[in-house]
A and B are shown apart, each in its own frame.
Chain A
Amino acid sequence: MRAKEIKFLEESFKKYYFDHFDLIHVPKRTSEREFGFQKFNSGMIRHMSLKDNKELHLLLMQNIPSDIYCSNAYYSFPNLPMNEKDWKEADLIFDIDAKDLHLECRSNHCVTKCNECNEVSKLSDYCPKCNSSKINIKSLPCKTCIEESKKEVFKLSNILIEDLGVEKKNIQVYFSGNEGFHVYVYESQFQQLGSRERAELVDYLMFKGTIPETFGMKKLKPNRSLFPEIEDKGWRGRFSKEIFGLKSKRSKIVSELISEGYSSFQKKLIDISTTIGAQIDPNVTMDIHRIFRLPGSLNSKSGLTKILCRDIQKFDPYLESSFLDENTVEIMANCPIEFKIKNKKFGPFDNENTTVPTYTAVYMICKNLATIS
């Protein structure tokens, strides 16, 4: 990114931070958390500790970070190097990202930017101009992406509450500021679990690592009564609803399952995992030392805010997380697809000068699809 764009983004971000201190707070037990931030075009600075909102706001004003992060873990000495921090516990966190859902809509709203010749084109594996495979994919998530990501949030919350005994009041859902949602679980029995145990929780939530026997299928002499019932709790119940649909169909489908055999059953379990399992990023949940985007802060991939979703069902990120101002800016835009922010349509732009509101200019520059004219 050129100095011109960085200056514009920093000015816009600073104004946001100044105008919206009310949206950005330090989390509870502040002094036990590690903080970190990045500036535009620069590396990560981490292992910091902050005392209160005042210190946070000062940091924002002085450094104008492109991104700011805070640990989900609690430490005795958060500002010391990792192996001296003295890890105490960590909130459970989940990242649901539309790009991991492999949605069909993706090809409609992704563009490819070549790292070698800067050509912007519709989604492809190679640059159509210079044939290079060193490309960057920029996604401008659509409504489907958001709605499908929400479904994953619902699946996840349901399993957390019903199976894992998490209280609803201890689950908080945030729009990540780009392509998905961040889910936090506070004060659960899982606070002190290490990375390996959290990996097991991930497999549970994603319906991974299942064996046919769990769902009644045996290698030898299958027994019809061992197959689950629709009203069963937990995964056996969810499996039944997915496979049998109706109680009345159970008998017929069990016969089919038995006649198709053990390995076919095994394959079915893998096939339905993406439908019934919650599609979360395993690495995020397994990482107990992660610094995670701070709620209320801006995401430098989009200029949108990571914001708490009070009513996730109705939540629209392009209305509720865009806080930058309407002042117009002239940009040189290169974006072969159309997108919508605050109910206004923009694009497609073919290497052309255009005037757009600040929030759109920031969005496009963050995605590397525009420069300041």
Chain B
Amino acid sequence: MITLGKDEIAKYPFLADAGQYLKDKGFTLQQFGIDPDLKLSIDKAFNRVQVSTEGKIYKSDLIDGEASKDFVLEREVFSFLLAIVLLKLTGMTTLIKRFALAEARRAEKYLEKDLANISDGSKKELAIRIIDDLFSIQIKEQNNHFIIPVSNYLQHSINFHEREWKLINRHVEKGFVFLTPHETVRLIRKELGNYITTKIFNAKTPTMISGFEEPVDKLISLSKKFVTHTITTGEYPPCIKHAIEVLERGENLPHSGRFMLATFLLARNQSVQQIAPLFKNAPDYNERVTLYQLNHLAGTSGSGTQYSCPSCEKLKTQNLCFAIPECDNIFNPLQFGKRRK
């Protein structure tokens, strides 16, 4: 466990043991509900969650990660811990996820600053250690850049859909990827968010505390607007249309294309018997083999695993993507034509 100084706890409050922190400071949750001075922290906590639901980062009282007075620092940590209490009391997953992401982005700003800190080496070291301890990424510094092993980079960048994060668009040399401090911390945003989410999920839910009811109710009604309904047009995406056309022409569709087509149609609730005739025109068609393979993909034979439709990114690599504007940056062919109501 990393030992944190006072201002580090304010910057990275998720690293602290919440219950222990309050205990060390001599407070109980009940006091926050009653004491008018402490109640301010609940307002702050409420604000911290509310801002996160709007996709914004909560405006901290810290200046450059430091506080002018000790109590500012404390209030900063309290508001984070109380925000978690409020979230647990609402029990709304969508709020927790939005909050975790916003907090991750907030911490990201401090991590970035600490990494780029030339005057205070210890701040840089701490940031490097946090990244290593939490996410097992070994960062080294080389010529004003941070370098990380390609394999480490890929394990994190794989979650990004923006092309600039593809390995081909990075500076890569001798097994390392070169990153700026900004890119280094951006790389772990999702994991940082996940880390905070898990911490919140794992925290005990207290019973309702007097004085907490109002903000909790307000947050519950706030979360209702995030419930979305989607409708599907039912039209096939261009990759699937292309695959069907190839088969209809009696041309050879590569194994990966057949896999895509079958898993797509299975996911759209078509049966093996409905799908099998599509392959009839294939130059190497064999009914027995086709049925065996389709049943295997559907999970009705073999290991019982149902295979899922490959992502657009994977299909691009396999030369099976024929994107059109209507694809609208979807990540999986199954999302094609889905619209929010």
Contact = CB atoms under 8 A, between A and B. Distances in A.
Nearest to A161: B174
B164 A203 contact: no
Contact of B154 (A115, A201, A233): A201
B150 interface: yes
Given A83-B303, A189-B151, A207 B173 contact: no
Given A133-B283, A209-B168, A286 B175 contact: no
A209 B176 contact: no
Given A133-B250, A199-B317, A286-B317, A193 B168 contact: no
Nearest to A165: B175
B283 A283 contact: no
A137 to B, nearest CB: 9
A282 B318 contact: yes
Contacts of A189: 149-151, 175
Given A115-B283, A199-B317, A283-B255, A209 B154 contact: no
Contacts of A196: 158, 311, 313-314
A347 interface: no
A208 B172 contact: no
Contacts of B172: 163-164, 204, 234-235
A197 B177 CA distance: 14
Interface in B129-164: 149-151, 154-155, 157-158, 163-164
Interface string A178-212: 00000000000110110011011111100111110
A323 to B, nearest CB: 30
A208 B316 contact: yes
Given A133-B250, A210-B168, A286-B317, A190 B151 contact: yes
B70 interface: no
B305 interface: yes
Contact of A208 (B149, B173, B285, B317): B317
A367 B219 CA distance: 71
Given A202-B317, A211-B163, A213-B164, A164 B169 contact: no
B171 interface: yes
A209 B150 CA distance: 17
Interface string A230-255: 00011110000000000000000000
B333 to A, nearest CB: 16
A282 B317 contact: yes
A214 B168 contact: yes
A101 to B, nearest CB: 14
A135 B281 CA distance: 12
B166 interface: yes
A214 B166 CA distance: 11
B34 interface: no
Nearest to B166: A209
A42 B175 CA distance: 43
B317 A234 contact: no
Given A133-B251, A209-B168, A165 B174 contact: yes
B250 A134 contact: yes
A197 B166 contact: no
A64 interface: no
B175 A83 contact: no
A166 interface: yes
Contact of A203 (B168, B171, B175, B284): B168
A82 B301 CA distance: 13
Given A164-B175, A283-B256, A203 B167 contact: yes
A281 to B, nearest CB: 10
B175 A200 contact: no
A94 B250 CA distance: 30
B314 A199 contact: yes
A113 to B, nearest CB: 11
B151 A162 contact: no
Contacts of A208: 168, 316-317
A34 to B, nearest CB: 14
A158 interface: no
A207 B168 CA distance: 7
A209 to B, nearest CB: 5
A118 interface: no
A80 B315 CA distance: 30
A178 B174 CA distance: 33
Closest 4 CB pairs of A and B: A165-B175, A197-B154, A133-B250, A214-B169
Given A193-B155, A209-B316, A283-B255, 11 more contacts: A115-B283, A190-B151, A193-B154, A199-B317, A202-B317, A203-B168, A203-B316, A214-B168, A214-B169, A234-B171, A236-B171
27 contacts: A81-B303, A83-B305, A115-B284, A134-B285, A136-B283, A164-B175, A165-B174, A193-B154, A196-B158, A196-B313, A197-B151, A197-B155, A199-B313, A202-B317, A203-B316, A204-B168, A204-B172, A207-B168, A208-B168, A209-B169, A211-B164, A233-B171, A234-B172, A234-B173, A236-B171, A286-B314, A286-B317
